[in-house]
Amino acid sequence: MKTTRNALTEQEMELMNLLMRDCQSTGDIQSKLKRLFAGTLEQMLEAEMDEHLGYEKNSAEGNNSGNSRNGYNHKTVISDYGESEIAVPRDRNGEFEPKILEKRQTRTDEIEQKIMAMYAKGMSQRDIEDNLREIYGAEIGQTLISKITDKILPEVNEWQNRPLETIYPIIYFDGIVFKSRKDSQIINKCVYSVLGIDMNGQKDILGIWISENEGASFYASICSDLKKRGATDIFIACHDNLKGLGEAINAVFPKTKQQLCVVHQIRNSTKFVRYTDRKEICADLKKIYGAVNLDDAEYAKEEFREKWDKKYPSILRSWDANWAELTTFFEFPEQIRHLIYTTNAVEAYHRMVRKFTKAKAIFPTDDSIRKVVFLSVREVAKKWTQPARDWAFAYSQIMIFFADRFAA
């Protein structure tokens, strides 16, 4: 406390003493700060008018100057101190455009920043409206809040179309579903995210794409967009075997190795398994994907077939059909395997997005989805400060396995 008081200038001490005079509560101090804010703003507006006209108020220099003061307009400004009535000077020629408080501006930047911060944290527009009313006594409707948050859309578009790295060693594809309105109906909209790991091992969401219907053409447009923005090569693509996605990746990035998510495969395998058998089946499936090499994995698969095929024939039918893409990770050492055998990295990101968006049950437009997901990306990315686990070793192996691609 002593350090803080010594750091105060004489003017600051004088202001503090003035604020404390006749104050019985923090509410009294807040009221004085509100009046001080309004008075300071009005003085700054007067100074701007002096500069605009070229002479001070009531100065003889203004005689026959061609322009003069012409009273005041009054407007209510919302700030951290609540609502304040401000007198804005005007000139006869109507040319005065203040910078400190622009025409039609009714809020300070601090309020808009707080609205954006609350929106980014996942608060609904109704909750933001209620909070502003409780904290500042200010009435800011949901329509206005929407207009304020819309100001971020140009930044969203710039981010979505930014240039990408030329090469991504690993990329993950996954989608998350939101409820949205369309023609007075509630429909599902899939927001598809692509998470890339760059040469430094850093995670980055390369973009988000929204679609009502997933399919080959949608996935092809995502891959084409990645290439158009500068990504010329992807070494390994990890995804959950959505229909048409593998073909879309092959069409745009023909050299890319594809790894299907083993965790998704296990979930699908046990979906219709009796509860009493599930634990044992999971243990036997682990012998397949947890094998030391591909030969051992194939041996474990045949053992599984002998044991369970009569009771659950559909399980290995699916594994057989996707065997090549399910076992790509066996081509690499352990430090790369743990990075690619599952899409857990992008799923973990989506869980965090869901946390930020849980208060928003239904989105009115695609833009409203883009705004909140983009803000979620910014919040999540703050935690991505370290490279992927064991990246130094994994990268050294990637340089060996894909040596010819680095030179290309």
What is the per-residue pLDDT across 118-166, written as a single tens digit (0 to 9) for each? 666 666 666 666 666 665 555 566 666 666 667 778 888 999 999 999 9
Confidence at residue 5, expressed as pLDDT on a 0 to 100 scale: 46
CB 279 within 8 A of CB 298: no
Q: Which pLDDT belongs to residue 183? A: 80
Residues in the chain with pLDDT < 70? 1-41, 44, 62, 78-83, 99-149, 359, 407-408
Please tell me the distance from the alpha carbon of residue 392 to that of residue 390, in angstroms, as a whole number. Answer: 6
pLDDT of residue 367: 86
- What angle in degrees, to the nearest 10, is found between the helix axes of 262-269 and 275-289? 150
Give the whole-angstrom CA distance, residue 339 versus residue 355. Answer: 24
Confidence at residue 306, expressed as pLDDT on a 0 to 100 scale: 95
Global pTM value: 0.70
CA distances from 279 to 34, 210, 262, 276, 328 (A): 65, 37, 17, 7, 26
Query: What stretch of H or E contains 203?
Result: strand 203-211
Instruction: Compute φ and ψ for 51, nearest 5 degrees.
Output: -65, -40
Query: What pLDDT score was predicted for residue 3?
Result: 43
Backbone angles phi, psi at 258, to 5 degrees: -115, 135
Contacts of 213 (CB under 8 A, 6+ apart): none
pLDDT of residue 1: 40
